[in-house]
Amino acid sequence: MHWKSICLLVFLSAIEAAGQVVNVEQARVNADSIGWQTSLDVSYFRQQFDDDLTTLTGRFATQRKTGRMYVLLLLDGGYSRSTAEVYTNYKMAHLRGSIKVNPAIRWEGFLQVQDNPPLGIALRQLVGTGPRIRILMHEKSRLYGGTTVMLENEWAVDGVVDAGVFRSSNYLNFNWSNEEKWGIASTVYFQPRLTDFSDYRISGQHSLVYSLSKRLQLKAEYTHYFDRKPPSIGLNRSRVTSLGLSYLFE
């Protein structure tokens, strides 16, 4: 087993708003590298003024890629609160596998379980499958697209149950890198309910990375989330901005 990298991400700026964007594209190996890759991101933030704000987040990803097969396990969680209120509280587990159909297409399947009480989600279960297509491949940039049909079961914090819902999950993922200094990754998701297209979700994650040295990187990231018909009355959108340092161990 070859562990390619373990990354420790230390956030330098706080969370702008509570939320969670489950972005599998930013976690996966998009390069031609074969074998295992594992990463761990952890952050702790505490701020004391009139109130006491504490934030803890963590993300673990391990994946294996061969010439034909790909497997990814992603665990994600975060918690943020003051003395009087919880702003962020989420957990997520995602398992994905794919088989190469031809040089440009892979067929994927996934399982996911998550919660996010501030967004009204007591529990959400997803299972889905569909193709992932390499639209553009260049020496420095790549563009991927995909669409899946997924079955969703959701329990809201107010007790409402929405079971047996079919959604389409559609995404575009763009990656560009200058191997010496700069890297850009951007992903946008659109997830409408198949029986009611007015019930949709839009989310995205956009990252800019600058290499300070061979192993030390500066990373800026912006994520956004919008739910047209959220599971509970309350927050239906979020935005998160972060600036961090990442160190690579090989």
**Does residue 1 form part of some domain?**
no
Which domain CATH number covers 210?
2.40.160.40
- State the Cα–Cα distance between residues 124 and 189, nearest whole angstrom: 17
Has residue 16 been placed in a domain?
yes
Position 115 in a domain: yes
The pLDDT assigned to 29 comes to: 52
Secondary structure letter of residue 18 according to DSSP: -
Per-residue pLDDT of the chain (250 residues; tens, 9 = 90+): 333 332 333 222 222 333 344 456 655 655 456 788 887 878 887 887 777 888 888 888 889 988 899 999 999 898 988 888 888 889 999 999 999 999 999 999 999 999 988 888 899 999 999 999 999 998 889 999 999 999 999 999 888 888 999 999 999 999 998 877 888 999 999 999 999 999 999 999 999 989 888 778 888 889 898 999 888 766 788 888 888 777 665 5
Structural domain that includes position 190? 6-249
Instruction: Give pLDDT, residue 242.
Output: 82
Report if residue 176 sits inside a domain: yes
Q: Does residue 118 fall inside a structural domain?
A: yes
Kindly list the distances between the CA atom of residue 79 and the CA atoms of 52, 178, 229, in Å, as whole numbers in the listed order: 14, 35, 24
* Pairing assessment for the beta strands 196-211 and 216-227 based on DSSP bridges: antiparallel
Q: Is residue 174 situated within a structural domain?
A: yes
Phi-psi sector, 164: left (phi>0), alpha (psi -120 to 50), beta: left
Number of domains in the chain: 1
Q: Which residues of 169-185 are buried (b: 16+ CB within 10 A; e: fewer)?
A: bebbbbbebeeeeebeb
Identify the pLDDT of residue 159: 85
Q: Give the type of residue at 150.
A: M
**203 within a domain of the structure (yes/no):** yes
pLDDT of residue 128: 95
pLDDT for the residue numbered 82: 87
In the beta sheet, which residues pair with residue 231? none
Task: Evaluate whether residue 62 is within a structural domain.
Answer: yes
